[in-house]
Amino acid sequence: MINLTVYGQTDIGLVRKTDEDAFVIADLTSGNVVKEQTIVRFQVGERGVLLAVSDGMGGASAGEVASAMVIDSMRRSMTMVSSTEPSNALVERAATTANREVWTAAHQAGRTGMGATLTALYLHGTAMHIAEVGDSRAYLLRGGNLQQVTRDQSYSQVLLESGAMTPEQAAFAPLRNVILQAMGTQPDVSVALGRLELRLRDCFLLCSDGLSGTVSAEEMRQVILAAPRMDAACATLVELAKQRGGEDNITVLIGGVSGDLPPLVAGETIGDTLQILQETSALAPPPTSGT
């Protein structure tokens, strides 16, 4: 038996007029869906649990519509779990279906340019499956160490990996918020997929760039470790982002697992249990032309 405790919080910030972020906590076994800000505890059943964060774009109501569509479509698709379909294939299918739904809706009047990011975690058995489109993030806290387990699909990430920019320069780069793909902006989407073997007392954090763009991973780690409860940790992180301008919507989701899971082995790293199943083509370097 594996137990999950999770809490999610979203905040409009100090500048935006609407909150275009959305999150969902869905127990796919019982059908229970949690969108409000409350700590929930339940057993991870045979159909698993979906956790997702989406950051909408497109302005006014369009971004809000896009993010809500993404997480609702993911939830609906994931409820149709097949015992014969691999978990990574299930997550990818759900993401591509959600992309197509937003793409179709984006052609309606007043919704041109509508899109959203997606960071989704699917807990099934003793593993966590990760799906990523855009630059919302997922982190894992294990053994006191916090590590990002998604890879930003952004222009600044390309510059970082090419060595053209340092992390310090990327934090203030004019194009740091430009993402290379989003849900609903094209008819097809390239979903990055990963698989993480869970360990006892693993804790994970999902967030929109309203948090990760202003609060460092080290600060996140310190806040989570110092907080008495998950809701207190989320509230502290949101407040910290707002103290630094609060220019964007801020969404944070923190969860932890317990129960029948293997303990962390001395010397074992997060990388030892994290498998990249599929890279996104959005970050692939351009092909070189032949001579």
Model confidence pLDDT, tens digit, residues 228-273: 999 999 999 999 999 999 999 999 999 999 999 999 999 999 999 9
One of 3.40.50.960, 3.40.50.300, 3.60.40.10, 3.40.50.1820 is the CATH number of 2-153+182-281, namely 3.60.40.10
Q: Are 261 and 200 in contact (CB under 8 A)?
A: yes
* Position 53 confidence tier, pLDDT thresholds 50, 70, 90: very high
Q: Name 3's bridge partners.
A: 43, 258
- Per-residue pLDDT of 149-168, as tens digits, reads 999 998 878 778 777 778 77
Q: What is the mean pLDDT of the chain?
A: 91
Rg (CA), the chain: 18
119 DSSP assignment: E
The rounded percent of the chain whose pLDDT value lies above 90 is 79
Q: Please tell me the distance from the alpha carbon of residue 208 to that of residue 174, in angstroms, as a whole number.
A: 19
pLDDT of residue 31: 93
Q: Is the pLDDT of residue 30 over 50?
A: yes
4: which 2 tokens?
A: 């999950």
187: which 2 tokens?
A: 């008819």
Q: Give the Cβ contact number of residue 258 at 10 Å.
A: 14
* Average pLDDT for 79-103: 90
Spell out the SS3 assignment of 26-53: EECCCCCEECCCCCEEEECCCCCEEEEE
67: which 2 tokens?
A: 């993010």
**pTM score:** 0.93
* Average pLDDT for 182-199: 97
* Average pLDDT for 15-36: 93
91: left (phi over 0), alpha (psi -120 to 50) or beta: alpha
Q: Please tell me the distance from the alpha carbon of residue 215 to that of residue 288, in angstroms, as a whole number.
A: 37
Give residue 18's identity as a one-letter amino acid code: T
* Average pLDDT for 115-124: 97
CA-based angle 238:53:93, to the nearest 5? 170
